[in-house]
Amino acid sequence: ITAEKNARRDYEYEARKRLYEKCEPLLFILNESAESAFDRITSLARTAREGNLTEDGWLSREGYYMRSTIYILLSPLVILKLMQKELTLIDLVLDPRIDVQYTIGKLIYNSLTSDFEFAQLEPSLKYKPIYEKDDEGKKRISNPQIYCKQGIPKGWLDNALQSMIVSESNKGDRCMSFGEFEQAYENEKSQLRKHFWVIKELFFLFHPESRPIFWRILATQAYSYKLLVSMRTLNFDNEACTWKTELTKINLMTVVLPNLYWHSDASQSGNFSKELSTIANLYLEKELYSKLGIKVK
């Protein structure tokens, strides 16, 4: 029995050593990109509130704001893909801190492909997306909130993320820089350009009012990113697992909600934002807390 315990201890030691060597640098980058993603989502709310997301506004053309928005919101998911290559189920059991961060990352990834689920959350929204080539009646123009696609199919999302990975023989894989992203995006023959047309369609002429389902997704991501960054304050070293209680007590509503006001009429913004808060909390409870075995009161 002693020999088995020693073998198990040695195995876990080596596993932890490998885990920290491979994943700690990625976790640092993930946290940095999470802060940037949160800031960009709140920037979208502010830009809408200031009247700059109109038909001739900042997302009406393939300029800097659209390209940087796409890059900033997808780069954390590229880091998640890089982590997937390094992690095993045993790794996640060994370190709950990494497990939680990885689970939050998966939640954010899955949210982009869950547009139909977000449409059905109360209050439910009518949603019958059609693609431009099938839109003979121009329904996407007259009723974009119903007929415009407001999520990304999983296969297309995976292809887009994969095209943002740079492989270096002596250093391994990494997420491309924004400069590299812009260069590849401008090249009409690049793999990135090939896989990003559906991503561009998602952001083209985006406004929280005309794309309410996608805005629900982005708001939930804002909550998730803030939760991810806030984990730095949690104590994962005690055997009582108090981090589970601490995780649910992070006051996301106070921190996140004011940053999601997009309506120029402040009285209207409050109603919309409270609805978003409820939806985000429902999604977090289903996709995060329940999977971590955390009961939310």
pLDDT band per the 50, 70, 90 thresholds, residue 221: very high
- Asked whether the predicted pLDDT for residue 238 surpasses 70, the reply is no
pLDDT score of 158: 96
pLDDT band per the 50, 70, 90 thresholds, residue 257: confident
- Asked whether the predicted pLDDT for residue 91 surpasses 70, the reply is no
pLDDT score of 137: 66
Higher pLDDT, 290 or 127: 127
Give percent of the chain above pLDDT 70. Answer: 87
pLDDT score of 88: 65
Residue 117: inside a domain: yes
Q: List phi, psi (to 5°) of 165.
A: -95, 130
pLDDT band per the 50, 70, 90 thresholds, residue 140: confident
pLDDT score of 239: 57
Domain that holds residue 226: 2-289
Residue 28: inside a domain: yes
- Asked whether the predicted pLDDT for residue 240 surpasses 60, the reply is no
Higher pLDDT, 222 or 254: 222
- Asked whether the predicted pLDDT for residue 270 surpasses 70, the reply is no
The span from the CA of 141 to the CA of 176, in Å, is 34
Residue 297: inside a domain: no
- Asked whether the predicted pLDDT for residue 242 surpasses 80, the reply is no
Residue 34: inside a domain: yes
Q: Which of 33-47, 123-137, 262-276 bottoms out in mean pLDDT, i.e. has the lowest?
A: 262-276
Q: Evaluate whether 69 touches 41 at the Cβ level (below 8 Å).
A: no
Contact residues for 222 (Cβ-Cβ < 8 A; gap 6+): 38, 41, 42, 256, 259, 260, 280
> Using the 8-state DSSP alphabet, how is residue 124 labeled?
P
pLDDT score of 58: 94
Higher pLDDT, 91 or 228: 228
Q: Which of 66-75, 88-97, 140-149 bottoms out in mean pLDDT, i.e. has the lowest?
A: 88-97
pLDDT band per the 50, 70, 90 thresholds, residue 187: very high
Helical residues (DSSP H) of the chain, grouped into ranges = 2-49, 64-86, 89-94, 96-112, 115-120, 139-142, 144-147, 154-162, 178-186, 191-195, 197-203, 212-230, 243-249, 252-256, 266-284
Contact residues for 93 (Cβ-Cβ < 8 A; gap 6+): 99
The count of domains in the chain is 1
pLDDT band per the 50, 70, 90 thresholds, residue 42: very high
Average pLDDT (84-90) is 70
pLDDT score of 119: 96
Average pLDDT (195-212) is 93
- Asked whether the predicted pLDDT for residue 15 surpasses 70, the reply is no
- Asked whether the predicted pLDDT for residue 84 surpasses 90, the reply is no
Residue 165: inside a domain: yes
Residue 296: inside a domain: no
Residue 104: inside a domain: yes
> Using the 8-state DSSP alphabet, how is residue 151 labeled?
S
Residue 210: inside a domain: yes
pLDDT score of 110: 96
